[in-house]
Amino acid sequence: MPREAIYCALLSGIVAAILCQLFFWAFKPWLNRVSNLPGRGGGVPGYVTGLIESFAFASAFPIAPSEVGTAGLAWLALKLLPDWQLVSSIADPMAREQLGNYRFKGLVMGLTNLVLAAGIGYVVFEFCMRGLP
C-alpha cells in the first residue's frame, strides 16, 4: 500500500472523528429528550468510545469496506451485549423500561456513528487520494 494511502486513511479518520463528535454534540440532547433519559454518569464517557470508534472505522473503511463493515457491526454487538440482558432489568418492569431505552439509545448512537464515520471517511479518503477537481 502506498504511503499516500496510509496518510489519507489517517486524515479521513481524524476528520470523521471530529465531525461525528460535532454531530452527536447536537443530536444527543434531542435524543435524550425524546427517550426521556438522564445521563448515566458512570463508566467510560460515550464521547471517548465514540471518538475512538469513529477514528478506527473511518480510517479502515475506505481500504477494505466489506471486511470493516462486518467488523464494525460485530464490535457494536459485542459492545452492547453485556448490558442487554441484565437480571435486574428483567425482574423489575420499571427498570426494564428505562434500561431498554438506554439500550435503544446505545444502538441508535452506535449505528449512526458507524454510518457517519464510513461515509465521511470514504469521501475524505477519495478527495485526498485524487485531489480536489
Q: What is the mean pLDDT of each run of 10 residues along the chain (133 residues)?
A: 85 93 85 67 75 91 90 88 63 63 78 91 90 65
CA–CA dist 2, 29 (Å, integer): 42
Cell numbers found for residue 75: 464490535
pLDDT at 55: 93
pLDDT at 96: 61
Nearest Cα to Cα of residue 53 among 29, 71, 27, 30:
71
Scanning the structure block, which residue is given the C-alpha cell 477514528? 55
Domain limits, the chain: 3-130
Residue pair 130/103 in contact (Cβ under 8 Å)? The answer is no
pLDDT at 5: 87
pLDDT at 92: 64
∠ CA(126), CA(113), CA(28), 5° rounding?
135
Residue pair 83/104 in contact (Cβ under 8 Å)? The answer is no
